Amino acid sequence: MKSWNNTIILEFLLLGISEEPELQPFLFGLFLSMYLVTVLGNLLIILATISDSHLHTPMYFFLSNLSFVDICFVSTTVPKMLVNIQTHNKVITYAGCITQMCFFLLFVGLDNFLLTVMAYDRFVAICHPLHYMVIMNPQLCGLLVLASWIVGVLNSMLQSLMVLPLPFCTHMEIPHFFCEINQVVHLACSDTFLNDIVMYFAVALLGGGPLTGILYSYSKIVSSIRAISSAQGKYKAFSTCASHLSVVSLFYGTCLGVYLSSAATHNSHTGAAASVMYTVVTPMLNPFIYSLRNKDIKGAMKTFFRGKQ
């Protein structure tokens, strides 16, 4: 590995999910298929919500933003991994690694914030239905999305810029399929205490805070649903947030599973494989979760395709 004075590093090596040569064609086909399905599925959600005037509501506005972020999320990591597998070259430049890390932090944070905003939207819709359109006005919806982007960018820039001063020595192998910040920081040959503190603080504040907000929103939603007298009314109220609750459970469940499995096994490749769940599988499943259980989305897609014929 090239270095100047043992401090200036030109490139890293992404070891990927597996180093077994016979598995590489299978991994390439699998991740290419998952990437294409993710991009196509989320793009269809965006096109359906834009083309159908009946879906020009706060809920679908947030959903289309989530779909856009999911496309960017997978595009940050998967294409580079596919190129590395196809070219049999594991190298990623130092600048490319920092850039990938920065965008990954941005889009995983945006996923987190948008899911929280969508939980608030469902809370207002079910707990304050008569004032829903007044509270969730276009200005507030736009401000919530803008605030998510601003906080996401600030967090991403702060953590990425804190990596730049770190000196790297000789061991430049990253046992992952992308430049995960924790893996990169712990390759540094200097004290990373401050970086660790910032990372843990960001996880606690920007991860725990939104999750607390989601749990609070759903506690109020459950209380409101229980107060509904008719079974049909309860089912109708619950069905409006069932898809979002499924996506939230999938996102946070897989994130928690990744870090618990990594801590339990102390195996970096196991952690990399587990990370596929929330970095690739979750964005791929989101369009299916929302479209299969949502008559409005399915109807908008049918109208969209009929209009193209």
Task: Give DSSP secondary structure letters for 257-282.
Answer: HHHHHHHHH--HHHHHHHHHIIIIIH
Of 234 and 125, which is predicted with more confidence? 125
Identify the top-confidence range among 11-20, 107-116, 160-169.
107-116
pLDDT of residue 278: 85
- Residue 7 has what pLDDT? 47
The H or E element containing residue 174 is strand 173-174
Confidence band for 77, pLDDT divided at 50, 70 and 90: very high
Q: Nearest CA to 272 among 15, 14, 17?
A: 17
pLDDT the model gives residue 1: 41
Alpha-helical (H) ranges within the chain are 24-51, 58-87, 94-127, 132-135, 138-163, 181-185, 193-202, 209-227, 231-265, 268-276, 282-292, 295-308
Residue range 262-309, pLDDT digits in tens: 555 555 666 777 788 889 999 999 888 887 667 777 777 777 777 655
What pLDDT, in 10s, does the model give residues 96-117? 999 999 999 999 999 999 999 9
Rg over CA atoms, the chain: 21
Q: Is the alpha carbon torsion for 279, 283, 284, 285 positive or negative?
A: positive
Pick the range with the lowest mean pLDDT from 28-37, 255-264, 297-306.
Answer: 255-264
Q: For the segment 176-233, what is each residue's pLDDT rounded down to a tens digit?
A: 999 999 889 988 888 899 999 999 999 899 989 999 999 999 999 999 998 888 888 7
Instruction: Calculate mean pLDDT across residues 86-94.
Output: 92
Identify which has the larger pLDDT, 78 or 289: 78
- In this prediction, residue 108 carries a pLDDT of 95
Q: Which domains does the chain have, with CATH numbers?
A: 3-299 (1.20.1070.10)
Single pTM value for the model: 0.91
Q: What is the arithmetic mean of pLDDT over 144-149? A: 97
Measured distance CA(140)–CA(134) in Å, rounded? 10
Torsion of CA 98, 284, 113, 155, to 10 degrees: 0
Q: What value does the mean pLDDT take over residues 227-243? A: 82
- Average predicted confidence (pLDDT) for the chain: 88
Range scoring the smallest mean pLDDT among 3-7, 61-65, 138-142, 169-173: 3-7
pLDDT at 31 over 50: yes
**Which pLDDT score is estimated for 234?**
82
Query: In the block, which residue shows the tokens 């819709």?
Result: 125
8-9 and 3-4 strand pairing? antiparallel
CA atoms of 296 and 308, how far apart (whole Å): 18
Q: For the ranges 67-76, 234-243, 260-269, which has the lowest average pLDDT?
A: 260-269
pLDDT of residue 289: 87
